[in-house]
Amino acid sequence: MAEQQSAGQEIIVHNRRQRSENLLRKWVITEQLFNLPGLLLFIVIGLVVGYGIGNYGTSFGGTLIAIGVAIPGVYCIAVYARFGVVVLLVMAYMLFLLMRLGVPGPLGTMMDALQLILLLNLLVRQKKNPSWGIFKSPATIVVLCWIAYNLVEVANPAAESRLAWVYTVRTVAMVQLSYFIFMYNIRSVKFIRFLLKLWMLLALIGALYAFKQEFIGFSDAEEAYLHSDPNIASLLFIAGHWRKFSIFSDPVAFSYNMVMPCILCVCVMFGKFSGWKKVVCFVLIGVYFLSMLYSGTRGANVLLPAALVLFAILNYNKNVLVFSIIAAIFFAILIVIPTGNPTIQRFQTAFKPNDDDSYKVRKNNQKRIQPYILTHPMGGGLGATGAWGQRFAPGSFLAHFPPDSGYIRVAVENGSIGLILFCTMVFVFLKTGIDNYYAIRDPELKTYCLMATLVIFAYNIANFPQEALVQYPSNILFLFFVALVNITRQLDDEKNRNMAVAVTV
């Protein structure tokens, strides 16, 4: 009897829920809120918005808009991971522009949350449909080792501050998890094409914005930033000329992110692509390279020639040889030609480091820190140098040491053990890229693999004079290209297997 009553109650509850759902569907979907409930809803919203803006200003309206965009945005990122990958790349490029425009909220933390959502999506999908084989690669092993070592650094006995580790581990280790996000979600040539086109478009926006800064001037927000700290002016105002940073955090990040798309354009020009695409890439190289010069970053000037050397070695043929000779002559003339243009003069000093005072200072700093590196195999702990060191351990030996180099920072903060592990990781990335390039048969995938390998190579050269791999968007892009080296090989193997099966059938 009691069971029959319970079943009857469940049926009643179910029927009520069904009627409520049908009624809600009728109001919202069928009638599209053109009804009394819809009118009441909009009246309430209007009253709330009017009261909020009247009492709290336009910030209240902006907050409502942000919430209205954020909720469906988070849903789409969580459910449609490829959309999340696109948002991740776009946000990595636009992060600092949004900050300068005064967009409220902890945007850096939002980037961490975005990566966390994508990672959770990956884990959930893997639980439902396990496919761990796609991560099988030497690159995966070294990435996991690097993440693990940086996590262990929290127990470094020489560390002056554990809190500095908390703030630093996000950018030097946790962002490495993006590698797995890219590996899992990029599973087609079509999506690779889309992401590379998106990358070139974002880079073009950065280049054009730099031209705007050069010939029209900085915005009010940028002017306020430049004059907010005397140290900023001392770094960016050189020989009566402001170094340009475009939409990026600083001129260094800007310059590096102009060189990398040049490498893609060179690879497309010598790949099996249509003629109009090659012409477009040739024009884009000029745009990217010229805008890079306005950054005044000397370390970036050597990256394209260095990448072209490796390009000529890996892709040796008659056309590449002719192009390499022409490029070498062009750079040689650019290096030695007498000029009064301060932009070209600064470019020329990159190839004469021994005549540069700042380079000599860096060499002396590196010499000074060598005894510390040799006596601290695990280093001084993450965040021991730079801004975090000054904030959390201002009286420590490393707090006021300027690393000025990604490799030096690794050696100082992670020690000789960390430096060996980091260099091993870089070697594995490059070796995997070169091996996969020669193994891939598909011409398009082969070009993409070559491009990714050259970008990895260029980023690691850039990491010697500057810290090239810790700032957005470079840290995300670097891992994207590491993943791309493996993805192109996997897609090529899959294509070859399908062809073999078709032939057999």
Tens digit of each residue's pLDDT (9 = 90 or more) over 423-466: 999 999 999 999 999 999 999 999 999 999 999 999 999 998 88
User: Tokens standing for 185?
Assistant: 């979600």
| Residue 486 near residue 456 (C-beta atoms within 8 A) | no
pLDDT at 80: 86
Pairing type for strands 237-238 and 241-242 reads: antiparallel
In a domain, 335, yes or no: yes
> What confidence tens digit (pLDDT) does each residue in 303-356 have?
888 898 899 888 877 777 777 788 778 777 777 777 766 666 666 666 666 666
pLDDT at 388: 77
In the predicted model, is pLDDT for residue 362 greater than 80? no
H or E element that contains 238: strand 237-238
| Residue 487 near residue 454 (C-beta atoms within 8 A) | no
Which of 85, 102, 130 marks a domain boundary?
A: 130
d(CA 422, CA 414): 9
pLDDT-derived band at 28, boundaries 50, 70, 90: low
d(CA 139, CA 436): 12
d(CA 473, CA 115): 13
Whether 296 and 349 map to the same domain: the answer is yes
* Residues 6 or more apart in contact with residue 31 via CB below 8 angstroms: 38
pLDDT at 227: 83
In a domain, 4, yes or no: no
Higher pLDDT, 260 or 80: 260
Whether 157 and 234 map to the same domain: the answer is yes
d(CA 24, CA 15): 14
Higher pLDDT, 33 or 146: 146
CB atoms within 10 A of CB 211: 15
Whether 125 and 164 map to the same domain: the answer is no
In the predicted model, is pLDDT for residue 242 greater than 90? no
pLDDT-derived band at 293, boundaries 50, 70, 90: confident
Which of 115, 130, 145 marks a domain boundary?
A: 130
Whether 335 and 445 map to the same domain: the answer is yes
In a domain, 169, yes or no: yes
pLDDT at 338: 74
Higher pLDDT, 495 or 32: 495
| Residue 296 near residue 343 (C-beta atoms within 8 A) | yes
Whether 200 and 103 map to the same domain: the answer is no
pLDDT at 62: 63
pLDDT at 282: 93
Write down the residue that tokens 């300068």 correspond to. 100
What is the average pLDDT across 67-89?
83
In a domain, 83, yes or no: yes
Whether 344 and 479 map to the same domain: the answer is yes
In a domain, 218, yes or no: yes
Q: How much is the mean pLDDT over the chain? A: 84
Whether 91 and 187 map to the same domain: the answer is no
Q: How far is CA 422 from CA 7, 128, 433, 469, 473, in A?
A: 64, 34, 17, 12, 20
| Residue 477 near residue 484 (C-beta atoms within 8 A) | no
pLDDT at 34: 74
Residue 121: which domain range?
A: 57-130
User: Tokens standing for 435?
Assistant: 């091996």
pLDDT-derived band at 167, boundaries 50, 70, 90: confident
pLDDT-derived band at 57, boundaries 50, 70, 90: low
pLDDT at 374: 87
Which of 86, 102, 130 marks a domain boundary?
A: 130
Whether 306 and 359 map to the same domain: the answer is yes
Amino acid at 223: E
In the predicted model, is pLDDT for residue 259 greater than 90? yes
pLDDT at 295: 87
Q: How many domains does the chain have?
A: 2
Instruction: Determine the distance from the C-alpha atom of residue 317 to the mean position of all C-alpha atoms in its chain, rounded to a whole number.
Output: 33
Whether 312 and 424 map to the same domain: the answer is yes
In a domain, 44, yes or no: no
In a domain, 32, yes or no: no
Whether 258 and 389 map to the same domain: the answer is yes
Whether 394 and 313 map to the same domain: the answer is yes
In a domain, 205, yes or no: yes
Whether 208 and 296 map to the same domain: the answer is yes
| Residue 231 near residue 418 (C-beta atoms within 8 A) | no
